[in-house]
């Protein structure tokens, strides 16, 4: 067990083992990558890129990762390691030590709420992936046309019963691991499954190259056409940088509290951000050639990967095998992220309400599962129901759309903004220097970015979109 984690066992009277810690030195990279790489990379990134016109959006997204996401990730990990507890108590410990307002711990509370709301619809999408394992394994995709594949997908969305079944299975998988603590095998799973997912994505990119439309896809992703970029698109790109890196929620704080002191926060954060970005770009390179080769719509929305990749699996040699493997790996990626979404709420219930791990997991998981039903219905029976439709900003947004918008575009950036302000303006410079242990020039670059650029960029995008 690491120094940081044994230090973490103090105030709350919990031992590291009872909190279910990771065991190896690489715990942080594994846990953080497991959380970061998920549906956001393979499902969400390609479809929002398609909806927002491609290249210019991707460029803004990459800028957001580098200039907003990475500095905030470093700040979150640093706060976690400094505080040495769960996010709420880390904030409490640091504010107490620095004689700062205890209200800062609300920052962690925003995160707990965001995780809960995200998981409710994330689990529904995880359910789609679960359902596609069966569809692929039983050969239903073989030789199907784009229209037929589209019909399989609409059939799934149109059936509340099927969606509920798979949503239930996904939530149960998440709850199972969270209830037992994070250790039971997950660490090993991440080490083996993440590289496997990566290799399979490379195979898909290889297949995409044979479609003859690879050049179009590269141009679509990397040739910026700023006339296609809207201000709303900038907000989506920024929100997605937070979502895909699992920022603004305290997750990186929680995992950072177990990071041994001698390990570089900057290098590990950079490794996680780079891996996450590479997976997203590979997903784009695998999907868009198929979109163009089959005359599909890049802006098809959330169903994009469930209509493009199955088409490829239905046509390529050994497609059933590759397809099944792909969806299994996607489920693992979603699973490790799902676990990290439920963990903060469960920890909070344990610490604040004194529930034991099993009861708190059941309470949090069932509440989340119930809210997920609203997202399921908004794909079919409630597809015309826009609860906040009277506000122009939310016009036509179903419950599912609203949850996605509220979390990714508002709560996570807000959480990230508060982290930047807290670390950049309230924590002592000595504490930051001590934790980050960077060369003076690199430190000063990070510090300036976090103090000035990051908060201003997030605030400007926010305000612009509100007005």
Residues forming contacts to ligand PFF in the complex (CB under 6 A) are: 35-36, 38-41, 115, 118, 243-244, 246, 249, 251, 337, 340-341
Q: Which residue's Cβ has the minimum distance to ligand PFF? A: 40
Q: Find tokens 């891996």 and name the residue.
A: 275
For residue 375, the minimal CB distance to ligand PFF (Å) is 15
Do residues 61 and 284 touch, judged by C-beta distance below 8 A? no
**Shortest approach of ligand PFF to residue 341 CB, angstroms?**
5
CB atoms under 10 Å from CB of 83, counted, come to 26
Give SS3 for 411: helix
User: In this structure, what token pair is assigned to residue 312?
Assistant: 């490829």
Work out how close the CB of 200 gets to ligand PFF at its nearest, in angstroms, rounded to a whole number.
17
CB of 94: closest distance to ligand PFF in angstroms?
20
CB burial of 419-435 (b: ≥16 within 10 Å; e: otherwise) equals bbbbbbeebeeebbeeb
What is the C-alpha to C-alpha distance for residues 455 and 450, in angstroms, rounded to an integer? Answer: 7
> Which candidate, 170, 111, 168, places its Cα nearest to that of 347?
111
**Smallest distance from ligand PFF to CB 137, Å:** 24
Q: Which is nearer to ligand PFF, 42 or 432 (CB)?
A: 42
- Judged by beta carbon, residue 249 or residue 438, the one nearer ligand PFF is 249
Q: With H, G, I as helix, E, B as strand and everything else as coil, classify residue 101.
A: coil
- Cβ closest to ligand PFF, residue 338 vs residue 424: 338
Task: Compute the distance between CA of residue 215 and CA of residue 219 in angstroms, rounded to an integer.
Answer: 6
Closest CB 3 distance from ligand PFF, rounded Å:
25
Question: How far is it between the farthest Cα atoms of the chain?
Answer: 66
Shortest distance in whole angstroms from residue 14 CB to ligand PFF:
22
Nearest residue to 416 via CA among 265, 253, 233: 253
| Residue closer to ligand PFF, measured from CB, 243 or 332 | 243
Q: Report d(CA 23, CA 191) in Å as an integer.
A: 13
Q: Cβ closer to ligand PFF: 78 or 432?
A: 78
- Specify whether the backbone of 22 is left (phi greater than 0), alpha (psi in -120 to 50) or beta: beta
Q: Give the residue with the Cβ less far from ligand PFF, 249 or 421.
A: 249
Question: In terms of C-beta distances under 8 Å and separation of at least 24 residues, what long-range contacts does 91-96 make, across chains too?
Answer: 91/422, 93/11, 94/427
Q: For ligand PFF, give the closer residue by CB, 114 or 141.
A: 114
Q: How far is residue 78's CA from residue 393's CA, in Å, rounded to a whole number? A: 36
Q: Which is nearer to ligand PFF, 35 or 135 (CB)?
A: 35
In angstroms, give the least distance from the CB of 80 to ligand PFF.
13
């Amino acid at each position: 067990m690491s120094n940081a984690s044994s230090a973490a066992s103090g105030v709350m009277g919990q031992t590291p083992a009872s909190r279910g810690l990771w065991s190896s030195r690489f715990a942080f990279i594994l846990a953080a990558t497991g959380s970061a790489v998920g549906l956001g990379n393979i499902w969400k990134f390609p479809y929002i890129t398609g909806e927002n016109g491609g290249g210019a959006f991707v460029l803004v997204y990459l800028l957001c990762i580098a200039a907003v996401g990475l500095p905030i990730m470093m700040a979150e990990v640093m706060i976690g390691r400094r505080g040495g507890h769960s996010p709420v108590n880390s904030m409490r410990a640091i504010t107490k030590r620095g004689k700062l307002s205890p209200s800062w711990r609300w920052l962690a509370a925003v995160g707990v709420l965001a995780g809960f709301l995200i998981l409710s619809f994330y689990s529904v999408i995880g359910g789609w992936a679960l359902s596609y394992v069966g569809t692929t394994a039983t050969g239903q995709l073989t030789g199907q046309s784009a229209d037929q594949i589209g019909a399989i997908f609409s059939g799934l969305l149109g059936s509340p019963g099927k969606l509920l079944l798979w949503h239930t299975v996904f939530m149960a998988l998440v709850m199972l691991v969270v209830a037992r603590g994070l250790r039971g095998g997950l660490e090993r799973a991440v080490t083996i499954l993440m590289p496997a997912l990566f290799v399979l994505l490379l195979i898909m990119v290889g297949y995409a190259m044979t479609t003859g439309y690879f050049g179009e896809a590269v141009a679509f992703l990397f040739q910026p056409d700023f006339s296609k970029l809207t201000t709303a698109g900038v907000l989506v790109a920024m929100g997605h940088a937070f979502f895909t890196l699992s920022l603004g929620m305290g997750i990186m704080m929680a995992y950072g509290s177990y990071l041994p002191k001698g390990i570089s926060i900057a290098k590990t954060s950079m490794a996680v951000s780079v891996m996450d970005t590479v997976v997203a770009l590979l997903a784009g390179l695998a999907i868009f050639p198929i979109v163009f080769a089959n005359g599909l719509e890049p802006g098809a929305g959330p169903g994009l990967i469930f209509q493009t990749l199955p088409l490829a699996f239905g046509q390529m040699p050994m497609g059933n095998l590759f397809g099944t493997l792909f969806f299994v790996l996607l489920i693992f990626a979603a699973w490790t992220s799902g676990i990290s979404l439920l963990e903060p709420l469960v920890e909070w219930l344990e610490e604040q309400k004194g529930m034991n791990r099993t009861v708190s997991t059941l309470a949090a998981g069932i509440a989340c599962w119930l809210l997920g039903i609203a997202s399921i219905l908004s794909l079919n029976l409630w597809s015309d129901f826009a609860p906040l439709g009277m506000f122009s900003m939310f016009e036509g947004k179903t419950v599912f759309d609203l949850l996605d918008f509220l979390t990714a575009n508002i709560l996570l950036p807000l959480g990230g903004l508060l982290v930047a302000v807290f670390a950049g303006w309230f924590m002592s410079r000595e504490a930051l220097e001590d934790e980050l242990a960077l060369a003076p020039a690199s430190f000063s670059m990070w510090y300036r970015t976090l103090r000035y650029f990051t908060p201003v960029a997030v605030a400007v995008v926010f305000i612009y979109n509100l007005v």
